[in-house]
Structure 1
Amino acid sequence: MIKKEDMPVCDVATTVQILGSKWKLLIIRDLIDGPKRNSEAMGTFV
């Protein structure tokens, strides 16, 4: 867990620190339109 005092002041920097890994951002991007089955989601990463 990230402590509040360790968080950057900038909102964009805070978001990047929380969602830091590229995989999290790719998964969120693909699920924004709604839920998908694993096979559907895996097809977007290949």
Structure 2
Amino acid sequence: MQGVDPYTYLVDVLQRVAIHPASRVDELTPRRWKALFADAPLRSDIEG
């Protein structure tokens, strides 16, 4: 619905959740994530 690639989103959020402040967890919802992090998502070290 937000025009976000699910794979890119999940890889980023699963890595980011460990370092992201709990008080700002709403930033990791797809809508907010797209505005804040989609331009430079975290990538997996195991991507081929």
Q: Higher helix share goes to which structure?
A: 1
Choose 1 or 2 for highest CA Rg: 1
With normalisation by structure 1, the TM-score equals 0.31
Name the structure, 1 or 2, with higher relative contact order (CA <8 Å, separation 6+): 2
With normalisation by structure 2, the TM-score equals 0.31
